[in-house]
Each structure stands twice: as C-alpha cells, then as structure tokens.
A and B are shown apart, each in its own frame.
Chain A
Amino acid sequence: MSVKIPIGPIHPMLKEPINLTFYVEGETIVDAEPNIGFVHRGIEKLAEKKTWFQNLYLLEKVCGICSSSHQGCYAQGAEKIFEKEAPEKAQYIRTLMWELERLHSHLLWLGVIMHEIGFDTLFMYTWRDREAVMDLVEMISGRRVGYSISTVGGVRRDIDYNILTKTMEVANFVARRVEYYEKIVLSEKTVLDRTQGVGYLSKADAIRLNTVGPTARASGVKRDVRYNLPYSIYDETPFDIVIDDGCDVLSRIIVRIREMIVSAEIIKWIVFNMPKTGDIKHNITPFTKPPVNEAISRVEAPRGELFYYLKSNGNLTPERVKIRTPTLANIVSIIHMVKGHYIADIPPIVAGIDPCLSCMDRVVIVDINKEKKVTMSHNQLLRYSIKWYKQNINEIRSERR
C-alpha cells in the first residue's frame, strides 16, 4: 500500500497553481496524479463573442511569458482565413520578437530551476542579465510585458536604425553570458548532484507519450516545428536544431542553454538581412468580414509546439477558437518521470518541463503505512529537499555511480 501526497494549488507566494497527488512508500514515489484547472478563465468561449481584431488583445493574455507566441500564432491563422499573407518586412519583425521572447523566457527558467535546487547565486545573475533583453523589448514595442506587435495582416510598428544597433549589442552580451553559465552548470558539484540521473524519460517513452519542446529534445527526439514544418522565414535563417542524449534534468538545462546561443545567432542574421523598405501591414479595417474558412496554425513557443484551430462562418466574430498549449501535452510525462524517485527530487523534475501553469504550491504527504498526514508549503518542501540531500549525499553518490 502506498501513501497519498496531495500538493495543493492556491498559495499567495507562488507563480501558478497546479495540484499534484503523489502516492509514496517510505521516501520513494510509486504513482502520481495531476489535477489542473485552477486558472481556467473561459477564454475560448469569450473569444466567440469578440471580433477578429479584438481577439488579438484577449489572446495575448493567455500567458505572460509567451504572449507574443500566442498572438503571432493567432495572427498567422487569421491571415489564412482572410486570405492575405503578411509582407516580407513584417515577417522579419515578427520573427525577431519571437526569438527575443525565447531568450528572456529561457533566462527566467534557468533562474527558477537554480532556485529550486538551492543555488540562488545563479538565480540572481540570470535575472539581472534578463533586464538587458526586457529594456530592449520596451524600446521596440512600448511595453515590457504584453508587447502587441502583431496584427492581422502584418505588424503594427516599424524598427529604426538605432534600435537595430542596440539589438546586436544585446544579442552578443547574452550569448557571452550564457556560455559562461554552461561552464558553471557542467562543473559545479551542487548542480550535478541534484540534476544528473534525475527524471529519466527514455526516447521511446518521449515519442509514445507525445512530448513536445525542449523536454523531448533532451531525450534525443528530433521534434521542433521550426525544423519539421517551417513557417514564416525560418527556412532561410541559420537555424540548427539542438538535441542531447542524456534524458535527465541536466540535459534539459543544456538544451535550453544551447538554444539561447542559436537564438542569438538568428537575431544577428535578422538584423543584417532585414529589408530596408517595404510595407509593414495590409490595411484591413476592423469592420471587415472574412470569407468562410477554417485554418490551422502551429508555432514553436519557448515551451514547445503551440497549436491553434480557427473557424469562420462569414461573421465579424469567429465561430470557434481552439488553443492547445505545450504544457498540457507534457503533463502526461510527469506521471511517468517521477516513478522510482525520492520526494526530494520533486521540485527539479516538475520545474524541468517548464510548466507555464506554475510549479507546486502546497504538498500534502500521506504516509499509508503509518496513516499520518503532513502538509507542507512550497518553501517548506524546498528546505526539506535541500536538507535531505545534504544529510544523505554520500549514499546518493554511491548509488548513482
């Protein structure tokens, strides 16, 4: 018989709520069950009551960190429905914003996972370097978060010469800092003890459970929408897919660090090759009715494959908007990855898939054998796991050799 541990959702200190129940025997996890839906806001139903242009500003608020991916994917699908393709200069600007977003999202994630392990120094450094990217995005689009740059038919703002020069400096700066972090991650004993051999997901399981994003690429699966089904201008850029064979949490860190270096290369290529003249959008008024069509749009968000399905029946409002975010596709693999691990390994494994609906909140540990219930908050679980690793580090090192 195993112990049931529910980890609850609402906690004022944490970013997003997820509820996970772990079945435990002693210190080893036997099974897990996710329970989601605490941030359900009814966006798909609300999108059927707003017009095609008003939905651009509703759908960018689905996620705070990958807001440009959601808006750009919707705009790509709506352009298919209106049967007008975005002009070339608009696609360059849209792709530049997508790659800048990937940089700041991966830097944020690197800090968060180092905080989950207890290595707060790297958390502070990465979030300080991230400010350079946020200041640049504010100069290009007008806001640090929720930069509504895409519209149906192109983009809304043009970029001038001094901003392009600053973009090159920021890309070089981030690439240099991130190479330094890769050296630290591969040589610090603290990081290696907590992440090497933890959260194993084999290549066959990653394909069978349909994982997406850097979680799948860290298990050696060559899946990236920019590589397999290229969209926008990705088939012309120097894009190279990044994969690793380790299948554990350390591989996921290495894959995301190397993706940031590739993103910096793509940003520099875009700055050199951006067309100097050209339209930035088609002039479609907000009161235009589209033809009857249905369209599908796929985009590689920082967390994986983002999927949109749009349907129009000739009215000013869409008939159906369907969104599938990448974290929903990766939840099924958490259940598989935690089996056989200790309770102290829960924070890095759950944070390793980069959940865009938060890490854990409150853990409830039920010991089946003793029939005793213990409730811990997120901070208490983090402190427990750091202390447990310090006490048992010699046994763990000999076990994993």
Chain B
Amino acid sequence: MKLDELKNKFGDKIEVSEDKFGEKWVRVPVDSLVDLLAFLKEQGFDHLSTITGVDTGEEIFLMYHLAKFDDKGSDSVNVVTKVNRDDSLAPSILEVYPSALVYEREVYDLLGVKFEGHKGLKRILLPDDLPEGYHPLRKDFDPKKFEAV
C-alpha cells in the first residue's frame, strides 16, 4: 500500500509520514477514525497488534498499531489520534476489529478514555470496586486523594 493512495482518498483530513526507522505514521482527527480503519482493513491490514494510550500532560494520544502478514509482502502502519483529557471520548472500533474488546477495556481502565459503542465497557485489570476517576497511568494521578480506598 503506498501512502499516496491514502492521501488521495482522504485528502486534507490526514497527515502521513515515515520516520527514520521505516515505520509509517498516519495522523487523523477522531471523527474520521472508524472510516480510515475500515479502509485500511480492506487493503489487507487485518491484524490489530494493540491500542496504546499516551498521556503527555496536555492531551491524550491514542495509537492503533496495524499489520499485514502476507506471503507476498508484509507491512505495518500506525494510526494516531488525539482526545481531550477531561471527558475523553472516542468511537469504538469493535465492528471493524473484534479483538479490540480487550484493548479498549485496558485503555479505559488505566487512562480513563471512554469508548462509545463498546458493549460492556468495564475495568479489566484493576479491581471492579474502585472509585470514579482512579486511573493510574495519568500524569497527575495521586493516590493520596483517594484515601478512603
């Protein structure tokens, strides 16, 4: 898949780049995320490695790491999008990749990003009875504020 085909289909909404290690990065706003992933799945990128959440202190980045394992040519591409830190909301990609069931629950549990359209969004790694707002991977997380736990 050449990066220019992507540019032709989606125009100005996305930015594509390739870094010095040969990895391809595609930046997209959050409302065109599901369309872009559905298009990439049709091109043969049917393996979702994982969903990473990074908190930089000002906003939260969500990265979707895709790969194509094909005999004739394997490839990998990474899709990056941004959400706010307060009331973080993103669309769920469960319809496109069923394996996102586990990864979206992990991002909700550790970073507090809610995915709309995900049936059964609850904590997966931490105990179920923790209070609201207890998301340890955030940069401003302070366990002393939740003294009652």
Contacts and interface: CB of A to CB of B under 8 A. Distances in A.
B14 interface: no
Given A222-B71, A228-B69, A331-B102, A305 B49 contact: yes
Contacts of A45: 136-137
A284 interface: no
B47 A210 contact: yes
A358 to B, nearest CB: 15
Contact of A80 (B21, B48, B52, B98): B21
Interface in B90-110: 97-99, 101-103, 110
Contact of A223 (B52, B69, B98, B136): B69
Nearest to A311: B54
B46 interface: yes
A207 B46 contact: yes
B126 interface: yes
Contacts of A207: 46
A210 B97 contact: yes
Contacts of B88: none
A38 B125 CA distance: 7
B76 interface: yes
A222 B135 CA distance: 38
Interface string A15-28: 00000000000000
Contacts of B99: 209-210, 329, 332
Nearest to A222: B71
B78 A36 contact: no
Interface stretch (A134-142, A169-177, A186-194, A320-328): A320-328
Interface in A300-354: 305, 307, 309, 311, 319-320, 322, 324, 328-329, 331-332
Contact of B23 (A36, A222, A296, A320): A296
Given A37-B125, A309-B65, A228 B74 contact: yes
A305 B123 CA distance: 24
A319 B56 CA distance: 8
Contact of B78 (A209, A296, A298): A296
B37 interface: no
Contacts of B50: 307, 309, 322, 324
Interface residues of A, number: 31
Given A228-B74, A229-B76, A296-B78, A324 B49 contact: yes
Contact of B52 (A322, A329, A331): A322
A305 B19 CA distance: 23
B63 interface: yes
Nearest to B53: A322
Nearest to B25: A294
B42 to A, nearest CB: 14
Contacts of B23: 295-296
Interface size class of B (residues with CB under 8 A): 20 to 34
B102 A328 contact: yes
Contacts of B47: 210, 223
A229 B67 contact: yes
Nearest to B141: A45
A141 B133 CA distance: 45
Given A40-B126, A44-B137, A222-B71, A332 B49 contact: no
Contact of A222 (B54, B69, B137): B69
Nearest to A223: B69
Interface in B4-52: 19, 21, 23, 46-50, 52
Interface in B53-76: 54, 56, 63, 65, 67, 69-71, 74, 76
A309 B76 CA distance: 14
B83 interface: no
A209 to B, nearest CB: 6
Contacts of A223: 47, 69
Interface in A32-52: 36-37, 40, 42, 44-45
A208 interface: yes
B124 interface: yes
Interface in A52-86: 80
B65 A307 contact: yes
Contacts of B127: 37
Given A296-B78, A311-B54, A37 B65 contact: no
Interface of A: 36-37, 40, 42, 44-45, 80, 207-210, 222-223, 228-229, 294-296, 298, 305, 307, 309, 311, 319-320, 322, 324, 328-329, 331-332
24 contacts: A44-B110, A45-B136, A80-B21, A207-B46, A208-B98, A209-B99, A210-B48, A228-B67, A228-B69, A228-B74, A229-B74, A294-B19, A295-B21, A295-B23, A296-B21, A296-B23, A296-B76, A296-B78, A307-B65, A311-B54, A319-B56, A322-B52, A328-B102, A332-B98
Given A228-B69, A328-B102, 12 more contacts: A37-B123, A37-B126, A210-B98, A210-B99, A222-B71, A223-B47, A228-B70, A294-B19, A307-B65, A322-B50, A324-B50, A332-B98
